[in-house]
Amino acid sequence: MNRLSRWYGESPLQLPLLAASFALAGYAGVRLLENDPWAVAVWFVGAALVHDLLLVPVYSLADVAAQKALGDRSRRTTMYVRVPAFLSGLLLLVWFPLITRARADHFALVTGHSGDAFLPRWLLLTAALFAASALWFVAVTFLAPASPWRQARRARREERARERERERQRRKETKERPPSDH
């Protein structure tokens, strides 16, 4: 028994659960595949494969590329690009048949709505998302008292002041040096 359970490898609850699940999935699956088994199976398995092997790598690489393009600043600025791009891309992913006007004429004929409104609306939403993100970036970077830009400016001023002070000190020392040291 011990050897058997080691060979099976999972908890004893799992096997009956999975058996019941596969039986139900089979009962529904036979009906799902009834009319066009190959095409439906391709859609079913293909949905998972397209997601895992195409969609995930594409958006992951796009994210890495954006970070590379932003260079040293990426840690601070990535989110200002990533968030609006993600939101806009999400809207496109869900509503691409309407946005790309894939069947705009059919849509208009059936519903009485124009099929042309969705692309401009998506473009305007995308513009608004990036504009809001840019405004936020400006506000956080330049306007807030604790913003990195203001802190950097303050640091530069203080550095220049310290530099001037050191310069004055050096001149003073040179002037007061005894002649024998020349």
Partner 1 sequence: MGVLPRTLPDPWRSPLRGPRFTAVLGLVLLVGMTLLFVTGLLSYAAYNPNLAAVNDKTPGKGLLGFYLFSWPTDPHWLYRLTQGLHVTVGVALVPVLLAKLWSVVPKLFTLPPARSIGHALERLSLLLLVGGALFEFVTGILNVQLDYLFPGSFYPLHFYGAWVFISAFIVHAVLRVPQALRVLRERKAGLPETGELVPAKPAEPTVSRRGAFAMVGAGSLLLLVTTAGQSIGGVWRSTALLAPHGGADPGTGPGRFQINKTAAVAGIRTADTGEPWRLVVTGPKGAVHRLTRDDLLQLPQHTSALPIACVEGWSTDDQHWSGVRLRDLAALAGTDGDTDVFVESLQQHGAFRKAALRHNQVHDPRSLLALRVNGADLTLDHGYPARVIVPAAPGVLNTKWVARMTFGAL
Residue type, 43: W
Contact yes or no for 103/97 (Cβ under 8 A): yes
Would you count residue 131 as binding partner 1 (CB under 8 A)?
no
Would you count residue 61 as binding partner 1 (CB under 8 A)?
no
Query: Which C-beta is closer to partner 1: that of 57 or that of 139?
Result: 57
Segment interacting with partner 1, rule: CB under 8 A, options 14-22, 138-146, 155-163, 171-179? 14-22
Q: Report the C-alpha gap between 112 and 95 in whole angstroms.
A: 18
Task: Return the structure tokens found at 91.
Answer: 């809207």
Q: Report the C-alpha gap between 66 and 50 in whole angstroms.
A: 23
With CB under 8 A as the contact rule, the residue among 9, 71, 178, 179 that binds partner 1 is: 9
CB atoms < 10 A from the CB of 143, how many?
A: 10
Q: Report the C-alpha gap between 32 and 43 in whole angstroms.
A: 11
Site map for partner 1, 143-182, x if CB under 8 A?
Answer: ----------------------------------------
Would you count residue 111 as binding partner 1 (CB under 8 A)?
yes
Q: Which helix (H) or strand (E) holds 62?
A: helix 56-70
Contact yes or no for 152/92 (Cβ under 8 A): no
Q: Binding residues for partner 1, per CB under 8 A?
A: 7-10, 13-15, 17-18, 20-22, 24-25, 27-29, 31-32, 34-36, 39-40, 42-45, 47-48, 51-52, 56, 67, 74-75, 78-79, 82-83, 86-87, 90-91, 93-95, 97-99, 102-103, 106-107, 109-113, 117-118, 121-122, 125
